[in-house]
Copies of this chain bind each other. A is one copy, B any other.
Amino acid sequence: MNTKHISLEKIKISDPFWNDVQELVRREVIPYQYEALHDRVDGAEKSYCIENFIKAGKVAAAIRNGEEVPVYPADKWQYTDDNCDKNAFHGWVFQDSDAYKWLEAVGYSLINHPDSELERKAKEVVSIICAAQLENGYLDTLYIINNRDEIFTNLRDFHELYCFGHLVEGAVSFYHGTGDRRLLDAACRFADLICDTFGEGKIRGYGGHEIAELALVKLYEETGEKRYLDTAAFFVNERGRRPYYFDVERGANSAGEAHHYNQAHRPVRQQSEAVGHAVRGVYLYSGMADVARHTNDNELYKSCLNIWENIENRKLYITGGIGATVDGEAFSFDYDLPNDLAYSETCAAIGLIFFARRMAEFAPLSNFGNVAERALYNTVLAGMSEDGKSFFYVNPLEVNPLASHCDSRKRHVKPVRQKWFACACCPPNLARLISSVGEYAFGESDSTFFVHQYIGAEVKSRVGKIKIQSDYAANGDVTITADSAVNLALRIPDWCGSYTVSAPHTVRDGYAYIEGATEVSVHFENAAKLVKCSNRVRANIGKAAVTKGPFVYCAESVDNGENLQMLVLDSNTKFAQDGEFLIADGWHETPQNSLYSDFSPADKTPCKIKLHPYYRWGNRGENEMQVYLRIME
């Protein structure tokens, strides 16, 4: 059964938990990022983002005027004052995407919360962007500024199709938020150029960093232009075929299965394992699921499902994080989920939520919502500080600040959130996801309204007006009312041992289906509990984590003293709530000073272990943190 998410204009969030998070993004993150794009944040590394669009606009004008335009090298990932001409492109090859992601977040935010001043600023940015577009529709400032002759010659590394994808996502959101078509028209013109350039009998290439696939489907959905869907399908189907395009474009000839990093090592229909750069992976898989749904391609869906199951059952942190290794920011091998070396990039968890929604749209199994929930309430929210001013790129499950400072193997694992990143992909990605969270919460088929995530809101569904009142995050209580009898499908969260539904229902694929209801109350029992990880995961043997509802908890040394590894949970613990903390029973081992000694049970004294929601960790300065604690059976 196909379902569809509900667009943001039809959703008004009013949720005690999510309102605050969205407000933080609206009040702090979006304005901060606006300043960052304009290089006006003291102490932050320069973005050059708007500056590049302005430079590109001058080049575009010069070309229109038939003037001579200089050429600079387009051969690096990052361009700085030290390595390039001051008139050339600056920043990372994917720098344009920051503006698009910001505009996407702004579009969503304006739908949720009109703000004329923000709209004015965003329109200015759009003007600057539109002025940079070449007459043929091309729009990527690196090549416009530096070298027009090299456009589309390094698809593997240089992110033109990636920036295009974010342009589309930003344009669609900006149009919905403002009614201003300019950026959408620009996106369509670039999309038209791409459709003219790539395909059968044309360039048989595809992007090194996927996203164009899902973006072209979104543009197809927005415009009805079939060639956008066709080109998305081409990108999906061409990927990984031999000869490898990434070899062809550089005259190479890779032996064996090269190109894992870009998921281009074999045709996607023959892929069943999540490999390579994790963000790229989930963006591709999202595009594959989109194409599968629009073309009723069950074979392609089956590949998506195989990959999904590989992630869900073997490559997923309890926090919803994916991409276990820093090397290539990539998926590691099955069951390799180290806590202290974790990469678990914020953007990868966001991309997993994209993938989950598309999978649920193809066929609503509760697995998709369950995993999206893990990612959303834990890794994604952990990505942002409580004041909205600093961010995690990497989301470890165990941190020893000493190791982060002394051990180069863990240099990526930061013990506190950072103000901004040279490669600033995560903060704007967070802003756009949180601002559009409603699109991931609800769905509809011809006859049924789906609740994938329990976020309080009023929704104008095509099956009726529906109101969700939710205390889900706090106590698992949700009431759904409709203005007329509707069919409902409510995800039963996987963490929930028992639940009550106030109306007759049948359970299928993890959803409670209710026919013709006007009011339904549900309660998901959300007592704190101990969770274990499969013993195939070496890092978690003999340990347990604590969860309550959708939240994973962790211990921090600010609450429990140093040497968190000396804490032992009592498997018979009761849990007490203390504000946002959970208090568990356990022991604290006495430190052993002798490095090696004859075995004897550790001296330990009973203690209370104070646990903090994972997404809240690291807000009180540098300190140790552990999600998994040793447990005494």
User: Which A residues fall within an 8 A CB radius of B?
Assistant: 312-314, 316, 318, 325-328, 332-333, 336, 340-341, 400, 402-403, 406-409, 497, 529-538, 541-542, 544, 563, 565-566, 571, 589, 591-602, 630-633
Contacts and interface: CB of A to CB of B under 8 A. Distances in A.
A615 to B, nearest CB: 17
A402 to B, nearest CB: 6
Judged by DSSP, the binding face of A is: loop
Contacts of A602: 532, 535
29 contacts: A313-B595, A318-B596, A325-B407, A325-B408, A327-B408, A328-B408, A332-B407, A333-B403, A333-B406, A333-B407, A336-B403, A336-B407, A529-B598, A529-B599, A530-B598, A531-B596, A532-B596, A533-B595, A534-B591, A534-B592, A534-B595, A535-B591, A535-B592, A536-B563, A536-B591, A537-B595, A541-B565, A542-B542, A571-B601
B534 A633 contact: no
B535 A563 contact: yes
Contacts of A596: 318, 531-534
**Which has the most chain B C-beta neighbours within 10 Å: A400, A409, A537, A591?**
A409
A534 B599 CA distance: 10
Contacts of A536: 563, 591-592
A602 B596 CA distance: 28
Nearest to A571: B599
A399 to B, nearest CB: 11
A585 to B, nearest CB: 14
A597 B403 contact: no
A534 B593 contact: yes
B601 A633 contact: yes
A332 B402 CA distance: 11
Contacts of A529: 598-599
A336 B538 CA distance: 18
Contacts of A327: 407-409
Nearest to A275: B406
A326 B341 CA distance: 15
A434 to B, nearest CB: 25
Given A596-B318, A599-B529, A599-B631, A566 B535 contact: yes
A598 B325 contact: no
The 7 closest A-B pairs by CB, nearest first: A530-B599, A333-B406, A327-B408, A534-B592, A601-B633, A538-B565, A532-B599
Contacts of A312: 595
A602 B571 CA distance: 12
Contacts of A633: 601, 632
Contacts of A336: 403, 406-407
A480 B631 CA distance: 50
Contacts of A402: 333
Contacts of A340: 538
Contacts of A542: 542, 630
Given A536-B563, A538-B400, A538-B565, A531 B598 contact: yes
A328 B630 CA distance: 32
Contacts of A534: 591-597
Contacts of A400: 538
Given A313-B595, A336-B406, A534-B592, 19 more contacts: A325-B407, A327-B408, A327-B409, A333-B402, A333-B407, A340-B538, A409-B409, A529-B599, A531-B598, A532-B600, A533-B595, A535-B566, A535-B589, A535-B591, A538-B565, A541-B565, A541-B566, A571-B601, A599-B631
A592 B563 CA distance: 29
Given A542-B542, A565-B535, A591-B536, A332 B597 contact: no
Contacts of A408: 325, 327-328
A152 B565 CA distance: 49
A310 to B, nearest CB: 11
B595 A497 contact: no
Nearest to A541: B565
A597 B333 contact: no
A544 B601 CA distance: 10
Contacts of A530: 598-599
A532 B403 CA distance: 23
Nearest to A370: B596
Contacts of A531: 596-599
Contacts of A318: 596
A536 B341 CA distance: 18
